[in-house]
Amino acid sequence: MSVTDTFGRPLRDLRISVTDRCNFRCIYCMPKEVFGRDFQFLDRKELLTFEEISRVARLFHDRFGVKKLRLTGGEPLVRRNLERLIAQLAAIPEVDLTLTTNGSLLVEKARALRDAGLTRITVSLDSLDDKVFRAMNDVDFPVATVLEGIEAADKAGLRPIKINMVVKRGVNDDSVVPMARFFRGTGHILRFIEYMDVGATNGWRMDDVVPAKEIIARIDAELPLEPAHPNYRGEVAKRWRYKDGQGEIGVISSVTQAFCRDCTRIRLSAEGSLYTCLFATQGFDLKPLVRGGRSDAEIVEAVEALWRVREDRYSEIRTAGTAGLKKVEMSYIGG
Ligand code: SAM
Ligand code: SF4
Ligand code: SF4
C-alpha cells in the first residue's frame, strides 16, 4: 500500500534518530550555551529499544513500501551496540540502509558497522582547517581523526562515502574550495549544505547563509563544473560534475531553492515521536502505541492518518519571522 499526503507526496524515506546525545557541540546545531552541562537529555528508559525501532521500520517497509532508512541523531555512534540495530534493519528485504555521523568514532567502529550490514555512510565535515574545524565542533576535536575515520570507512567498504559540509558565512566559507580540491578524484561525494534555521537555538540569520549558487560559482571559478542530471525524482542534492571527469559534488539548497514539493521523508525521534517536517513544532507520539501492546494494524493506521493530512512546506514559506518559531531541535530528530 502506498500513502500520499495533501500535496500528493508519497512516504518514501524514514530517518531514525537513535539518540539525542552528541560528543560535539557544533555551533549551528547544539550551541554550548543551550546544550551545556545542565542540559537534560532523554533518559535511557525513554529511548525506543532496538526491537521497537526495528518493528516500526519493518512496518514502514511492509505496509508503505519505505526502502530508504537512515540512522542519525545526535551522534548515532554514541549509542551503545548500534551494530545490533544495524543487523536487525539490514535484514529487511531490499532496504537501503545508511548512517550519518560526525566521524569521530569511525576509526574504531567502521569495520563493525560494515560487518553488521551497513552499506553506506555520510560523514559530516565542515573544514579541513584544524582551527576552523575545532571552533565549529566547539569541543576542540581535531580534524585529523575525522579524516582517519573517513579512510577507515573507505577501507571497510562503506563506499561511496558522502561528505556533508554545512557552510556558514564568515565561519567556514573559505574552506569551500579547499574541501572541493581535497575530495575531488577520491570517489567520495562532497555535498555542501546551506546553513538552516533548524530548531530555535542556533541564532540563525539569512546573512549567515551562503547561497548554493555562490558556492558553485566559487568552485567553478577554479575547478570548472557542469550540471549533472538527478539520479531520481526528489533527489535533494543538486548534482554537479567536474568537467575533467574527476567526480561530482552536490549542493543542498534548502534555504534559497526549497524542495518541499518532492519531500517524501518522515522522521522518528529517539523517544518515538514522528515528525513530518524537519521544521515541525510538534510531533506525533508513537511510543504509547509501540509500547502499549497495540497491534501492527493500529500503528499502521496511525501513521497513515498522520501522513494523509500532512501539509508541511516550511522551506517554501520561510521568512525572518518563521525562523524564530519554537521548532524541534535537529539534534533531537536528526538531519
Ligand atoms: N551527528 C551526526 C552528524 O553530524 O553527521 C548526525 C546528526 S546531524 C543533526 C545531521 C546533519 O545535519 C549533519 O550533516 C549536520 O551538519 C547537519 N546540520 C545540523 N545543523 C544544521 C543546520 N543548522 N543547517 C544545516 N545543516 C545542519
Ligand atoms: Fe552533533 Fe551532528 Fe549536531 Fe554536530 S551536527 S552537534 S555532530 S548532532
Ligand atoms: Fe520537507 Fe519540511 Fe524540509 Fe520542506 S521544509 S523539504 S517539507 S522537511
* 62 falls within a domain: yes
Measured CA to CA, the distance from residue 236 to residue 259 in angstroms comes to 7
* 6 falls within a domain: no
* 110 falls within a domain: yes
Q: How far is the centre of ligand 1, averaged over its atoms, from the C-alpha of 301 (Å)? A: 31
Which residues have any ligand 2 atom within 6 Å of their CB? 22, 24-26, 29-30, 73-75, 102, 124, 331
Query: Could you report the per-residue pLDDT of 32-91, keeping only the tens digit for each?
Result: 999 999 999 999 999 999 999 999 999 999 999 999 999 999 999 999 999 999 999 999
* 7 falls within a domain: no
> Which atom of ligand 2 has the smallest separation from the CA of 137?
4
Detail the DSSP E strand segments found in 43-109.
68-72, 96-101
Q: How far is the centre of ligand 1, averaged over its atoms, from the C-alpha of 283 (Å)? A: 19
For residue 329, what pLDDT is reported? 78
* 304 falls within a domain: yes
* 40 falls within a domain: yes
Cβ of residue 101 lying under 6 Å from some atom of ligand 1? yes
Q: Give SS3 for 200.
A: coil
Beta-carbon contacts of 72 under 8 Å, excluding residues fewer than 6 positions away, are 15, 16, 17, 18, 99, 100, 334, 335
254: CATH: 3.20.20.70
For residue 317, what pLDDT is reported? 83
Q: Give SS3 for 91.
A: coil
* 223 falls within a domain: yes
The total domain count for the chain is 1
Residue 293 has pLDDT above 70, yes or no: yes
The string of DSSP codes covering 128-157 is SSHHHHHHHHSS---HHHHHHHHHHHHHHT
Which helix (H) or strand (E) segment holds residue 220: the answer is: helix 212-222
Least distant ligand from the CA of 137: 2
Residue 324 has pLDDT above 80, yes or no: no
Q: How far is the centre of ligand 2, averaged over its atoms, from the C-alpha of 128 (Å)? A: 17
* 278 falls within a domain: yes
Cβ of residue 328 lying under 6 Å from some atom of ligand 1? no
Range of the domain at 272: 13-333
| pTM of this structure | 0.95
Q: How far is the centre of ligand 2, averaged over its atoms, from the C-alpha of 75 (Å)? A: 6
